[in-house]
């Protein structure tokens, strides 16, 4: 069943108000669980450290090991986060309740992600949350190619994980001229109007493929359509408040789409 979280004014107002009132992590998130290499369930680790300075191949090897552990020692209700650095740096203690396998890799593209899905074949997640595409746009990859890669990814996940809810999340806006990220020039050369257009195509594709579409763009954008400065560290990546808002949106997505 396809469910779209429309980014209209009412929805945005409700979620933002909730976010403002719940800036402190709710009691239910006091002890989240995260799948990791050394132990299926570990105390959440900070987003900085050697883990985030690995080569792409090292990341593939590490994520493969984590996926293998999750498959051989099912942690219960498993959720998977698929994407690039924005997903990678999602603080474990901000994630919704459940056992999470974070499969984000810094700099990931739709083509790269599509080619590494097989490491998840033996896992049995309840839901997979996917967000990828901004790096493609910044590299000048044609929207048509981005969409084709997304479609292949979704079809693969649906075929291999038929009992899993697939949640396709929109690409987030960026800070444009206000960004301080080292690749600021690329952001300015890739207007958010292009991101919005890409998201519309992703939304339509998600509907045709019968998977869930979660509109995050509308929640994170200001009146100019750029990433809200109070939710970001550099105009591209999120800060703690940004991840808290994302978590709230994921909660809503889970409540609406997962039995």
Encode burial over 52-74: b for 16+ CB neighbours within 10 A, e otherwise. eeeeeeebbeebbebbebbbeeb
Region of 98 (left: φ > 0; alpha: ψ -120 to 50; beta: rest) is left
Q: Could you tell me which residue, 22 or 138, shows the higher pLDDT?
A: 138
What's the whole-number mean pLDDT along residues 190-207?
98
What's the whole-number mean pLDDT along residues 19-41?
30
**Lowest pLDDT segment from 42-51, 109-118, 136-145, 159-168:** 42-51
CA dist 44 and 30 (Å) reads: 10
**Lowest pLDDT segment from 30-44, 75-89, 171-185, 229-243:** 30-44
- pLDDT score for 259: 55
Using 50, 70 and 90 to split pLDDT, how confident is the model at 246? Answer: very high
**Residues above pLDDT 90, as percent of the chain:** 73
Taking the model in full, what pTM does it have? 0.81
What's the whole-number mean pLDDT along residues 101-120?
97
Using 50, 70 and 90 to split pLDDT, how confident is the model at 252? Answer: confident
């Amino acid at each position: 069943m396809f469910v779209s979280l429309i980014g209209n004014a009412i929805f945005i107002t409700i979620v933002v108000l909730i976010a403002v009132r719940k800036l402190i992590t709710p009691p239910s998130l006091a002890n989240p669980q995260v799948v990791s290499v050394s132990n299926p369930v570990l105390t959440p680790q900070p987003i900085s450290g050697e883990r985030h300075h690995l080569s792409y191949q090292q990341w593939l090897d590490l994520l493969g090991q984590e996926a293998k552990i999750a498959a051989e020692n099912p942690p219960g209700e498993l959720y998977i986060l698929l994407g690039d650095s924005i997903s990678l740096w999602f603080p474990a203690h901000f994630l919704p309740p459940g056992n999470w396998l974070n499969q984000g890799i810094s700099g990931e593209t739709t083509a790269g992600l599509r080619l590494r899905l097989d490491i998840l074949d033996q896992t049995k997640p309840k839901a997979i949350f996917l967000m990828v595409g901004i790096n493609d746009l910044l590299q000048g990859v044609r929207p048509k190619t981005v969409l084709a890669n997304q479609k292949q990814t979704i079809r693969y996940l649906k075929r291999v994980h038929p009992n899993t809810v697939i949640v396709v999340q929109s690409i987030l806006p960026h800070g444009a001229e206000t960004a301080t990220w080292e690749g600021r020039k690329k952001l300015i050369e890739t207007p958010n109007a292009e991101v919005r257009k890409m998201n519309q195509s992703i939304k339509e594709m998600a509907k045709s493929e019968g998977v869930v579409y979660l509109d995050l763009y509308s929640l994170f954008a200001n009146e100019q359509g750029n990433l809200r400065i109070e939710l970001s560290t550099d105009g591209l990546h999120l800060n703690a408040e940004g991840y808290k808002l994302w978590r709230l949106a994921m909660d809503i997505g889970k409540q609406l789409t997962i039995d």
